[in-house]
Amino acid sequence: MITNGCMLKSFKVTEEKGNPLPPQREKKPKTSPCVLRCGTAYGNLLAMDDISAEWMTSPVRDCGSDNDVSNDDDDEDDEEEEPIRKRSKWPDLPIPAPWYGETSKETGFHRSSRLCLNQIRECLLEHRWQEAAEYLISYFQTLEEISTPRQLLATEIIFRLGSEILHQHPNSKLEDVNHFFDLMKNTGVRGYLKISLEHSFHLLLTGNFDDAVRQLTTAESWRYGKQSAVQADKMKLIHAYRGFLSYLSWISKKGSSSEDDDGDVSAIQEMHTYFRQACISLQEILKLPGVWDPFVVGYVNMLEFYNDHEGALNVLKEYAYDSRFPPNPNAHVYLYRFLKRQGSTEKKQIRVLKILGALVPSHELMLELFSLLLESGTEQSLKEALDVLFNLLDDCSWKHSVAAWTCFRNMIKLLRRKKLKHLLEEGWETRKDWWPAFHFRTYHARADFQLSRQLLLMKVVVASTLVGNSKNAFSACLGLIVPANPLGRCFPTQSTFLLLGAGKEQKHGLGVLVNP
Amino acid sequence: MDSKFPDQLFPVFYYTGPPKKKADCPVHAWGLHGHVYGNDSGSAEVADWSFLAQRKVNGPTWAPVESIVAPLLPPKSVNKWSSRHLPSAMDFPKHMQNFYLYKSEDAFSTMNHLLEDHFDFGSGELKECMKKTTVSMKNMERFMSSAKFIKCPLKPFEKRASLYNNLLGDVIHDIPPGLLGELLYEELTLQREEKQFNEVATGGALGFFLISTSNTSQEGCLVYPRKAALNSLNFHKVVVEFQENIPRPKFMNKPINYGVNGTIRQVSVGPMEESVYVGVRTDYNCGVWVATSAQKPQPLDVVNTQERATCLTVSPHMPGELLVASESGVAYLWTVGRSLQKFREEEGNLYFNAKSPWRWCDFSAHPRVMLYADRTGLELSDIRSKETCSHTVFRIGATSGCKSGERVILSRYLCNVNTHHHLVTTQHSAYIMDERFPCLPMIKWDHMMASPPMFAQAVGTASQHQNTVILGSQSSQELTLLQYSGGNAVAAQVLGAPQKLSCPMKSLADLPVQIPHRQKNVQERLTVPAAGIASIYYDKEESLCVLQLSEVGDIFYQTLRPASQDSLQAAHKEMLNEDSVTEQSGSSPQESQESVNNPRTNIVSQSKCKIVSQSDCPPETSDARIHGINEPCVNMILNPLTEQEDVSLSKDIPRTAKVSKATLLKWKSWLNVLRNGQRSTPRYSQLHWTLKTKDHFTFDGKPRDILGKDQITSLRNNMREVMEKKSVLTCGATSLSPPEVLPTPHPVDTQSWGDDLSQRLSASWEGGWKDWWEEKLGLNREKRIEELRRKRRRLKRTRGPRVALSGSFTTSASYQSDLDGWSSAVSDFGGQDPDLDSSTFSGYLSTQEDSAEPERTGRVLQHEPKGSKLSSEEKSNVTLSRNKAKMPKDPSQEGNPKAPKQLKQDYMSALFSSQEEVVDAGTEGTDFFFPMSLSSQVSSISNSQRKPSLGPFSQSSQSSKQGKKRARMGF
């Protein structure tokens, strides 16, 4: 009745559309300014004044399109656009290919190894290590794979699964693990470096420092024809870790030699050897972009010991300011601490901390920046100090920090003294619409009181100052806590009890929330 | 403490650029430590240093209290739930056929009206003028009635149908078939995609908030959708109580429900402060409710979106603030009761063109900095500044070690775990990002899930050393538990390996088996994709309850308790003990052991059957097959390889199915409700040609079972016992009376059949078909006569007078029979040609020689012992006689050539060449058979005369035959 033949053919073409496209070269489009203040245009969304009832029962009223609320005519257009949108959605998400699924050209060997792998996976995912070990014994036969890629994959899989099982199995011993690692290292050359590194980690974690060093030394001297990029990186890591372990040996030598003051020359010689070894390897890795916190710390520590302050500073500056490196907050922290140790000028320290503050406004060193800025005492620096404090308290991790609120209270006192309260108002201007709800709610008062009375006191002072300035004192909440709490005895004057509600907004929007 | 940033981070290379890795190795979750750094403890001794690995291999683990999930609510009867069968886009002809058959009104109505006058359905008399232009539809009706049946071939009407098609095919359709087919194809493709991955459900439609905690119980409220279309929002009070040391969630009171206009896609719950905000997202609406611990939830506000909404998040910082994102690419801050504030709009995707309109947004540690995400990455944007101020948190690329094709599925701000951490999930991995150090993930897991994780829950445990993340996927219902620690003072560390929690789909295997069609029904119900997860953490008695919502509104839960190292060791010890017990007694001590260990929980152990039942569990769904989880052949392949291991496997304790009685009862009632609530209404009543047999068979209505009820129950018990032992149920093991022993039937006596056909068939059964015919046609008459003569001569020569006398009887008898028919004296010749010596002849040729060998088979068997009894002189005798017998054979054949008979013989041999071979083989065998038969003849005679005590068989047969012989002698 229906002739489908030709249609089938034509559909096959469209079917291929479903293949996921490889991600294109990353290019971040320039984003246009799109932050709009509230209350202007609602965009595609429209808040409905009378809530609920309509949505609950009646059919949906369509909302306005951009800048235009009357859009009854748009409905047809929308319907036309619908299928197009759907169609464009097809190549949306590449579902991961079921690698473990059955393939059409599968030999019995592959099939059995696939099934076996699935079993092992299931066992591992359910933490049945013993059963997984039994299955793994059978899985070793996949090493007899003929094709090279598959064999490599099998080696990798066996290494991963085997080491995991050995780590978790209740009966496994260190010797077993060592033996397994040694075996796996020589099953194909690709994995040698990786497994060596992993092996040394395992030895380190189990407290065999010397064996780990030996492993790394052996791996360091390993040579094999052409190396892939991954292998080259692994080699660099091995060098770096080798250097790091030398540094650790250096520390132990340093400690032991400092104990007996006039250490013999050989011990100092040995220390120097370790230093040189560590220096060479760590220097290399620090040139490459990455996160090298432990290495940097060690390297700088050694340089400082040998009074190469210039070199240490260069290393730290490079680590913090090189644009090839990721924006690591710790890099700035190390630099700041180094400068502090060296007793450099406050100006330099402040500069470093400011950069850190731009990166992470909520960093704990911001309190130090605050005190540094206070010390300088100029109006400009006071303004900056206030900004630092405001930014710090913007972050929700500092919400309950007594130290931060105490700083704020002190700052307010200082500003009052210096008659610079306008600075406070400037900072408050951008926050007055949300700080009350964020910091000064009855709920917060209760929670803070349970946490620490000190905290509540500081916050009360700050709140009264800030909100009082904007002529919106809310003493209504005053009675909420006071009668039930012994606070009343601490504060004889009522004016300090300004426990604030949510500000203006509470009257309509959030008023519902306050639990009488 | 959240304000601290780790002093040192693990070393890692910083790569930039697009992802390079391919998704190949499927085991990335395991085996590696990642990186290591040493904690400089200030000690001089190297041994004192503690090293920290990026992945701590032995982390604390959660252990499920029971091995299956339990239903929390009775199942709602849902008219239909889609099975997990993925629609294939190439099925569109079938759908078109259905459309034409069952919706013919819609398919052909226009042409139907136009042609109505020209078809006659036999309803009334036709006018004269109309007769020429009207077609009678009598045949057509018959055709149509048969077309209703799918199975019915249209063969009888094919020609007519094609004629109609030629005539009307172009015009009859309201919708052109080409267009319809194309649209159907598209729709089916879309449906398939959506079945595999339906992004609208991202986030999950299950929420929970805590109301109060006491020492023995915890009270909270579960927010979940109900009804068939998931369009009713329920707030239901849940109490987690400890029953027998196992925490169990229980619903209290009645739910408060609100009808919602559309399927609920996402439920987002804010933190419980003095009140809690619950955001609900449907496709084109978002609503918000507020609830307090004292008052019942109230609806507050609603917005509609023109494009489909993709995200709704309730602020963890500020009451009454929500974020809304829609497919148009715009993200809004929605302050309840006030306004919407657009803070970000992106036409395309953030980092590269992923062709996805999906957008997501979330909060961050700063209440005025929002997270904006799509499939390519996450960005933080400050909503205070006028110009866009945004920086990357995460992007798909080499920096975070992504694989090519990887996309962001979900992001979640983990406020309750660490104020700076965000969880990002992709198809392959899950990342923990610290917004203070963007781009590089603090933690990367390979979650090993088959379908992308769309739901996530994070639990910061009381000790704060260990944060638990639970990922849930949609189509495969998987739940994966991941753990990490640190992120504040020390660098974040992965704890342990990913752990898979049980899901409803798998639980069916541990439940009692049901009748197949019900089992299938339940299985279909349980394999419905998940729609959301929630978790309830109870810190007083550390326990974690994980709830999972399915797309038909079922909620299942499972409870986890921390598995301490002690308990693990205890389990291990226990296992060792059990091993020793098993070795000693050889019985199955597991149950007793279990019950001794857990006297209170009444746990049923099924560990032994576990492996088998796992392989038996539903392999039907296509995804499960893709998984390879339920491959039924696993054991078949593995068992032969590891037969000894199999024993040890079954001894292994870890995979035990622990199901308490309470849970089983819950499941039982759940299944009952499901069964009763189902209406079996097939969509089309008649799918097959049915034949009514009501009148053909009568049924008297008496029960067929002759056994009593007691007997049946005892039989069932017996059966169960036997099945446990895996042995065979024999009659002796039951209480039934032993069945009557039937006597074995008599051997077939072919001699009793006298007719030609029977004889021929009997002969040919033994391979003597050709000979029978030769015999019948008399082709071998001369040979026979010759043979007879030779024999007589021989007998005269060799035998003494007494023997000669008996011989004369034989000859006379055989001679007489020779006179009766032409075939005689065959019996003696049988030794030479075994094919001739068939039982056919023995029927009417009962000679003395024959009597010694009543049946051919018997004879063959008996030859050898008899032959072995021969003395040496007899042997020499035999060889002599054989030579004599052979010698005259040839001249007899050559000497008497008779033309017509020769021709006949040629014809026969040509015809029966196949038989010839057999005969040849037989003649070859004469060397063997001949002496035997002769010797037997000789021995039987000599024995019968000299040694009366011979084998019982020969004697009896001889005596019986002698009786016959006497009768003949008398004759």
pLDDT tens-digit readout, A239-279: 999 999 999 888 888 877 765 555 578 888 888 899 998 99
Residues in A 128-187 with any Cβ partner in B closer than 8 A: 128-131, 134-135, 137-138, 153, 156-157, 159-164, 167-168, 170
Structure tokens at B122: 């036999």
Is 90 exceeded by the pLDDT of residue B899? no
Closest CB from A29, A52, A134 relative to B649: A134
Compare all CA atoms of chain A with the CA of B19 and give the residue at the minimum distance.
A23
Q: Which residues from A are below 8 Å from B6, CB to CB?
A: 330
Q: Quick one: pLDDT band at residue B704, thresholds 50, 70, 90?
A: low
Predicted-assembly ipTM surpassing the 0.95 threshold: no
Task: Give the integer Cα–Cα distance in Å for B307 and B345.
Answer: 13
Q: Among residues B471, B464, B398, B376, which one has the least CA distance to residue B432?
A: B471
User: Does B14 lie at the interface with A, CB-CB under 8 angstroms?
Assistant: yes
Contact B51, A162 (CB under 8 A): no
**How large is the angle between the packed helices B565-585 and B643-651, nearest 10 degrees?**
130
CB contact under 8 A, B357 and A85: yes
* Per-residue pLDDT tens digits for B252-288: 888 898 999 899 999 999 998 888 999 999 999 999 9
Mean pLDDT of B536-544: 84
* A291 phi/psi in degrees, rounded to 5: -100, 115
Looking up tokens 């060998």, which residue turns up?
Answer: B853
User: Does A13 lie at the interface with B, CB-CB under 8 angstroms?
Assistant: no
The reported pLDDT for the residue numbered B150 is 53
Contact B413, B458 (CB under 8 A): no
Q: What percent of chain A has pLDDT over 70?
A: 69
User: Does A496 lie at the interface with B, CB-CB under 8 angstroms?
Assistant: no
User: Does A43 lie at the interface with B, CB-CB under 8 angstroms?
Assistant: yes
User: Does B271 lie at the interface with A, CB-CB under 8 angstroms?
Assistant: no
Q: Quick one: pLDDT band at residue B513, thresholds 50, 70, 90?
A: confident
Q: Alpha-carbon torsion B364, B367, B372, B378, what sign?
A: negative
Task: Give the integer Cα–Cα distance in Å for A371 and A379.
Answer: 14
The reported pLDDT for the residue numbered A150 is 82
CB contact under 8 A, B332 and A45: yes
Is 60 exceeded by the pLDDT of residue B149? no
Looking up tokens 């200030």, which residue turns up?
Answer: B42
Looking up tokens 């054989």, which residue turns up?
Answer: B882
- Alpha helices for B652-745 (secondary structure H): 661-677, 709-725
Q: Which residues from A are below 8 Å from B652, CB to CB?
A: 128, 130-131, 134
Contact B61, A215 (CB under 8 A): no
CB contact under 8 A, A90 and B348: no
* Per-residue pLDDT tens digits for B446-464: 888 888 999 999 988 766 5
Q: Which residues pair with B410 in a beta bridge?
A: B425
Is 90 exceeded by the pLDDT of residue B372? yes
Q: Which residues pair with B135 in a beta bridge?
A: B119
User: Does A442 lie at the interface with B, CB-CB under 8 angstroms?
Assistant: yes
Q: Which residues from A are below 8 Å from B451, CB to CB?
A: 95
Contact B409, B387 (CB under 8 A): no
Q: Among residues B610, B916, B658, B580, which one has the least CA distance to residue B770?
A: B916
* B214 phi/psi in degrees, rounded to 5: -130, -175
Looking up tokens 């369509």, which residue turns up?
Answer: A62
Mean pLDDT of A158-163: 90
Q: Which residues from B are below 8 Å from A24, CB to CB?
A: 18, 352-353
The reported pLDDT for the residue numbered B157 is 62
Closest CB from B14, B100, B326 relative to A44: B326
Q: Which of A184-198, B311-325, B833-847 has the highest mean pLDDT?
A: B311-325
Helices vs strands, H then E, count in chain A:
24, 2
Task: Give the integer Cα–Cα distance in Å for A296 and A282.
Answer: 8
Task: Give the integer Cα–Cα distance in Å for B293 and B298.
Answer: 12
The reported pLDDT for the residue numbered B44 is 58
User: Does B166 lie at the interface with A, CB-CB under 8 angstroms?
Assistant: no
The larger pLDDT score, comparing residue B759 to residue B589, is at B759
User: Does B447 lie at the interface with A, CB-CB under 8 angstroms?
Assistant: no
Compare all CA atoms of chain A with the CA of B159 and give the residue at the minimum distance.
A1
Across all residues in chain B, what is the average pLDDT?
A: 72
The reported pLDDT for the residue numbered B747 is 80
Q: Give the H/E segment covering residue B220.
A: strand B217-226
Exposure of B93 in the CB half-sphere (CA atoms within 13 A):
10
Looking up tokens 């010390």, which residue turns up?
Answer: A375
Task: Give the integer Cα–Cα distance in Å for A100 and A116.
Answer: 11
Q: Quick one: pLDDT band at residue B290, thresholds 50, 70, 90?
A: very high
Q: Quick one: pLDDT band at residue A76, thresholds 50, 70, 90?
A: very low
Task: Give the integer Cα–Cα distance in Å for B27 and A153.
Answer: 10
The reported pLDDT for the residue numbered B24 is 66
Is 80 exceeded by the pLDDT of residue B53? yes
Compare all CA atoms of chain A with the CA of B162 and give the residue at the minimum distance.
A1
Contact A25, B352 (CB under 8 A): yes
Q: Which of A104-108, B97-101, B362-366, B563-567 has the highest mean pLDDT?
A: B362-366
The larger pLDDT score, comparing residue B389 to residue A476, is at B389
Compare all CA atoms of chain B with the CA of A92 and give the residue at the minimum distance.
B356
The larger pLDDT score, comparing residue B789 to residue B949, is at B789
CB contact under 8 A, B339 and A45: no
Burial, A181: exposed, middle or buried (Cβ in 10 Å; 0-12, 13-18, 19+)? buried
The reported pLDDT for the residue numbered B464 is 58
CB contact under 8 A, B367 and A396: yes
* Per-residue pLDDT tens digits for B221-261: 999 998 888 889 999 999 988 777 778 888 888 889 899 98
The C-alpha of B164 sits at a distance from chain A's nearest C-alpha, in angstroms, of 9
Task: Give the integer Cα–Cα distance in Å for B953 and B851.
Answer: 11
Q: Among residues B499, B498, B502, which one has the least CA distance to residue B446?
A: B498
Task: Give the integer Cα–Cα distance in Å for B606 and B629.
Answer: 19
* Per-residue pLDDT tens digits for B713-729: 888 888 888 888 888 88
CB contact under 8 A, B31 and A121: no
- Alpha helices for B678-800 (secondary structure H): 709-725, 756-765, 769-777, 781-798
The larger pLDDT score, comparing residue B78 to residue B98, is at B98
Cβ-based contacts under 8 A for chains A and B:
504
* Per-residue pLDDT tens digits for A377-408: 788 999 999 999 999 999 999 988 999 999 99
Compare all CA atoms of chain B with the CA of A250 and give the residue at the minimum distance.
B44
Is 80 exceeded by the pLDDT of residue A450? yes
CB contact under 8 A, A291 and B440: yes
Q: Quick one: pLDDT band at residue B746, thresholds 50, 70, 90?
A: confident
**Helix, strand or coil for residue B647?**
helix
Compare all CA atoms of chain B with the CA of A53 and give the residue at the minimum distance.
B299
Mean pLDDT of B616-623: 37
Mean pLDDT of B164-190: 86
The reported pLDDT for the residue numbered B925 is 39
Across all residues in chain A, what is the average pLDDT?
A: 73
Contact B476, B449 (CB under 8 A): yes
Q: Which residues from B are below 8 Å from A54, CB to CB?
A: 302
The reported pLDDT for the residue numbered B909 is 56
The reported pLDDT for the residue numbered A321 is 93
Exposure of B631 in the CB half-sphere (CA atoms within 13 A):
23
Closest CB from B18, B330, B366 relative to A26: B18
User: Does A72 lie at the interface with B, CB-CB under 8 angstroms?
Assistant: no
CB contact under 8 A, B367 and A14: no
Q: Which residues from A are below 8 Å from B28, CB to CB?
A: 160
Residues in A 392-421 with any Cβ partner in B closer than 8 A: 394-398, 401
Residues in B 853-882 with any Cβ partner in A closer than 8 A: none
Q: Among residues A169, A174, A173, A142, which one has the least CA distance to residue A158?
A: A142
The C-alpha of A417 sits at a distance from chain B's nearest C-alpha, in angstroms, of 31
Which of B9, B46, B474, B636 best tests the A interface by mutation, with the highest count of A CBs <10 A? Answer: B46
Q: A470-474, B43-47, B62-66, B140-144: which has the minimum mean pLDDT?
A: A470-474
Mean pLDDT of A53-74: 34
The C-alpha of B362 sits at a distance from chain A's nearest C-alpha, in angstroms, of 15
Exposure of A503 in the CB half-sphere (CA atoms within 13 A):
19
Q: Quick one: pLDDT band at residue B902, thresholds 50, 70, 90?
A: low
The larger pLDDT score, comparing residue B533 to residue B748, is at B533
Residue B791's CB: how many other CB atoms inside 10 A? Answer: 19
Task: Give the integer Cα–Cα distance in Å for B555 and B669.
Answer: 15
Q: Quick one: pLDDT band at residue A226, thresholds 50, 70, 90?
A: confident
Compare all CA atoms of chain A with the CA of B274 and give the residue at the minimum distance.
A443
Which of A42, A396, A432, A440 best tests the B interface by mutation, with the highest count of B CBs <10 A? Answer: A396
Task: Give the integer Cα–Cα distance in Å for A442 and B971.
Answer: 136
Q: What percent of chain A has pLDDT over 90?
A: 27
CB contact under 8 A, B273 and A443: yes
The reported pLDDT for the residue numbered B302 is 92
The C-alpha of B12 sits at a distance from chain A's nearest C-alpha, in angstroms, of 5
Model pTM score:
0.69
Mean pLDDT of B327-337: 91
User: Does A295 lie at the interface with B, CB-CB under 8 angstroms?
Assistant: yes
State how far Cα B669 lies from the chain centre: 26
The reported pLDDT for the residue numbered B818 is 45
